[in-house]
Amino acid sequence: MNEILNVKNYSFSYDKKKILDNVSFSVNDYEATVLIGINGAGKSTLIKCIAGLLKSKVGEITLLGKNINEYKRQEFAKNIAYVPQSISFESMSVIDAILLGRLPYFSHPGKLDYEKVYEIIKKLGIEHIANADVQKLSGGERQKVAIARALAGEAKLLLLDEPTSNLDLKSQYETLQMINALKKEGIGIIISMHDINHALEVGDKYIILKDNNIVAQGDVSILTEELLGDIYGLHFHLIQHGNTKHFHIGEEENED
């Protein structure tokens, strides 16, 4: 495994309020790193900073060994792909929507660009909607198209901001399967997630954010009932079957 991304002593403030405070971690290829924390903990901000959408002078983010601020925009776009929490498309066919992911490579799409798009469509199993209007698709299908668009740019690092929120159960399952399949192809993935059990389905590494800081990071062993209970203010009960972990979640018991 090779390191793709390194975040070192990185801080980000907005209107003099600290959103991220001295965070450090790294991400490898073939790995999914899951960001966990309550709303406002800084997950989406961290993803946007890595995507180059928010900038700070404190700390350093390097992508493939090069500071992200030193990249030209198109070169950077070839290496990193971002799928936001809320996805919107202009009214166009799925093929054309995915083709937009090739924008760092073309001003007018060529044969190679279309071949790449068809390859991704086949890989994600969305041939049946290839010619449909992307605005008329279900939330789950649009999510797949957004991920397909991100993959079309052949990025080494994929950033997914809450990819399973607002999806029905089947679409959630399919999205998680897709993430696992992408990992195996060598793409490094950073995902922000609320659902701990979804995180367990795809995660290789976990970063717990609380009060603008990383309070724990590591493999699945860091996810303990105590830590999660402290983060979410809920009661977590670990159920383990062999190597498979699952958390049952309930309200925290009163101590009176």
Q: How far is the CB of 67 from other proteins (least distance, A)?
A: 17
Residue 10 or 76: which CB sits closer to other proteins?
Answer: 76
- 169-184 and 139-152 are packed helices; what angle lies between their axes, rounded to 10 degrees? 20
Q: Are 160 and 183 in contact (CB under 8 A)?
A: no
Q: How far apart are CA 94 and CA 158, in angstroms?
A: 20
Q: How far apart are CA 102 and CA 74, in angstroms?
A: 11
- Cα distances from 133 to residues 83, 141, 152, in angstroms, run 19, 11, 18
Residue 116 or 198: which CB sits closer to other proteins?
Answer: 116
| Footprint on this chain of other proteins (rule: CB under 8 A) | 48, 51-53, 73-74, 76-78, 80-82, 84, 87-92, 96, 100-101, 103-104, 106-109, 133, 135, 153
Residue 21 or 133: which CB sits closer to other proteins?
Answer: 133
Q: How far apart are CA 146 and CA 84, in angstroms?
A: 9
Q: How far is the CB of 27 from other proteins (least distance, A)?
A: 17
Q: How far is the CB of 4 from other proteins (least distance, A)?
A: 16
Enumerate helices (H) and strands (E) in the chain, giving the number of each. 8, 12
Q: How far is the CB of 108 from other proteins (least distance, A)?
A: 8
SS3 95: helix
Q: How far is the CB of 64 from other proteins (least distance, A)?
A: 16
Residue 132 or 215: which CB sits closer to other proteins?
Answer: 132
Residue 34 or 97: which CB sits closer to other proteins?
Answer: 97
Neighbouring C-beta atoms of residue 225, cutoff 10 Å: 13
Residue 19 or 196: which CB sits closer to other proteins?
Answer: 19
The Cα diameter of the chain in Å comes to: 70
Q: How far is the CB of 146 from other proteins (least distance, A)?
A: 8
In sequence order, what are the residues at sequence separation of 6 or more whose Cβ sits closer than 8 angstroms to the Cβ of residue 136?
Answer: none
Residue 77 or 182: which CB sits closer to other proteins?
Answer: 77
Q: How far is the CB of 105 from other proteins (least distance, A)?
A: 9
For 63-85, give the DSSP string: ETTEEGGGS-HHHHHHHEEEE-S
Unique residue bearing structure tokens 């079309």 = 152
